[in-house]
Structure 1
Amino acid sequence: MSKTNILYQHGTLALLVPGLLDGTITMKELLEHGDTGIGTGEGLNGELIILDGVPYQVDSNGNVNVVKDDFTLPFANSHFDEYRHLTDIDGLSPKEIEKKILSMTSSNTFFSTKIHGTFTNIKTRAVKKSEKPYATLSKTAEDQSIFLEESIEGTLLSYYSPQIFDGAAVGGFHHHFLADNHKFGGHVLGFGGASGEIKVQQFDTLEQHLPTKNTDYMNYDFSKCDILGDIHKAEG
């Protein structure tokens, strides 16, 4: 029986900051912990969004690919879908949506939201895969492609983390998008307005999995990193 109250997280955003970008979990392993999720591939190879158990990768060319079981990731979230209806929206901006969601939930626990509907002037990005020796997160993220659609139907999949977990994850909301036509998606940089249904799923448990078999991670001294500064710069 799936445990729908658990958010599974492999790796941390903090480990990406100095460039620890090895893939340390396979997609097959990740899907054992959920049928819904987000992440990035080894070397920041594109942006991942998992819906209904299908893992889609938006690559730096804008292609949407279904990845295989042996695709590896340095960082990912996943959970088993048990969303419930929260509210309907009409033409709300990202800030308005986040404010509305938080007024109807709590900022002190992890949750996921899924918005299906129409999005206007939506801007996404995907990072080009880098190879070893990896650069830092902020440097690698500079080699990104930006995509824009004036109006498109699709799913905005988001995870919310309490501010006290900033660094392990993104404190606040982290949004990925996939168009219904599977021709557009990525990490969301912004949009004009969204109209559709908001669904929410709250978690009371965070299962944090660390890549303890990765020597580079185990031996790294994080005290010399500006973890939060670099995360906010790269994830903004």
Structure 2
Amino acid sequence: MGALLDGVYEGNVTVRELLRHGDFGLGTFNRLDGEMLVLDGVCYQLRADGSAALADLDELTPFAAVTWFHPDRTIDVSAPHDRGALKARIDEALESTNLMVAVRVTGDFSTIRTRTVTEQHPPFRPFTEATEDQQEVTFTDVTGTLVGFRMPDYEQGISVAGYHSHFIDAEHRHGGHTLDYQLVRGTVEIGVRTELHLSLQRTPGFLGAELNQPNLDGQIRQTEGG
């Protein structure tokens, strides 16, 4: 994540290779050409206009996080929860905030606000500037799935600390990076993880990047909307 802040938008890992390491996750594509969502072993590309489509297996990614999704716990949600209330409910169910948690939320949403970055071109701007051009789309009365993670604070910069999720509707035709939502009813599945495999790029951009950014936490919160 720190490399994205420094404008490293070109990686050398294909979607095909990524899917060998997990069936659930999120990320982005080279040149920030849309948001990535991986659900049930299928990778989707979420565009700036709010549309979703199957990603080409030969597409490349500069940043992604995936896991094999095996839920340890399920929470039934029968009353409306906004984003803050649902995060608090999940936190209450965790034995510790020091572990990595994959979170899948499937349900009916009265509203869900998303954004998607737009494709960038060299020379690349820093991520905080690139996200100023992001397009926001709000979906109403929609059924779909949130795919995301709750990462410990110590992982800020490697990933995104706290909650980070992407959304796709039930028809797999629309979605984006989640900013806010109102869940009417649904199911939360939580999978706790205790092992992390980190694969670093050896591209010129990554090797020359400034990864220890000033105010790293603030920049990530600004770009990720929370």
TM-score tier (shorter): over 0.9
Which of 16, 21, 42 is 1:54 aligned to? Answer: 42
Report the counterpart of residue 85 of structure 2 in structure 1. 96
Which residue identity lines up with residue 154 of structure 2 in the other structure? I
Higher mean C-alpha deviation, range 214-223 or range 151-160: 214-223
The alpha carbon displacement at 1:31 in A equals: 0.4
Task: Give the Å deviation of 1:225.
Answer: 4.0
Aligned to 1:178: 168
TM-score normalised according to structure 1 size: 0.90
Q: Which region of structure 1 is more displaced relative to structure 2, 91-100 or 218-227?
A: 218-227
Corresponding residue number in structure 2 for 1:26: 14
Question: Could you say what secondary structure the match of 1:38 adopts?
Answer: strand
The size of the alignment, in residue pairs, is 223
Q: CA RMSD in A?
A: 1.3
Helix, strand or coil: the match of 2:135?
Answer: strand
SS in 1 for 2:104: strand
Q: 1:111 aligns with which of 92, 101, 107?
A: 101
Tell me which amino acid in the other structure corresponds to 2:193: F
Structure 2 unaligned runs (5+)?
A: none
Greater Cα offset, 196-205 or 223-232 = 223-232
Displacement over 6 Å in runs of 4+: none
Are residues 1:197 and 2:187 paired?
A: yes
% identical equivalent positions: 28
Which range is displaced more, 213-222 or 165-174? Answer: 213-222
Query: What amino acid is the match of 2:137?
Result: F
Aligned residue in 2 for 1:37: 25
**Is the alpha carbon distance of 1:223 and 1:178 closer, same or farther for their aligned partners in structure 2, counting shifts above 3 Å?**
closer
- Secondary structure of the 1:205 match is coil
**Aligned with 1:77 (options 62, 65, 69):** 65
**Is the CA contact (8 Å cut-off) linking 2:23 and 2:38 kept in structure 1?**
yes
Note the C-alpha offset of 1:61. 2.1
One-letter amino acid matched to 1:145: Q
Secondary structure of 2:122's aligned partner:
coil
CA apart distance, 1:32: 0.6
Secondary structure, counterpart of 1:108 in structure 2 = coil
User: Matches of residues 207-222 of structure 1 in structure 2 within 5 Å?
Assistant: 207-211=197-201, 213-222=202-211
Deviation, structure 1 residue 192: 2.4
Q: Which runs of 5 or more structure 1 residues have no equivalent in the other structure?
A: 1-12
Residue 228 of structure 1 is aligned with which of 196, 212, 217? 217
Is the Cα contact below 8 Å between 2:6 and 2:127 reproduced in 1? yes
> Matches of 2:181 and 2:212 in 1, distance apart?
36
AA paired with 1:155? Answer: T
Amino acid at match of 2:146: L
Paired AA for residue 200 in structure 2: L
Q: Distance in 1 between matches of 2:129 and 2:58?
A: 27
Q: What's the CA shift string for 1:39-68, capped at 9, x where partnerless?
A: 101111111111111101111122211011
Equivalent residue, structure 1, for 2:158: 168
- The whole-number CA distance in structure 2 between the counterparts of 1:204 and 1:165 is 13
- Name the amino acid aligned to 1:216: G
**Mapped pair 1:136 → 2:129:** no
| Residues 71-103 of structure 1: per-residue CA shift (max 9 Å, x gap) | 111100111121244211121111111111111
Cα distance in 2 for partners of 1:119, 1:85 equals: 21
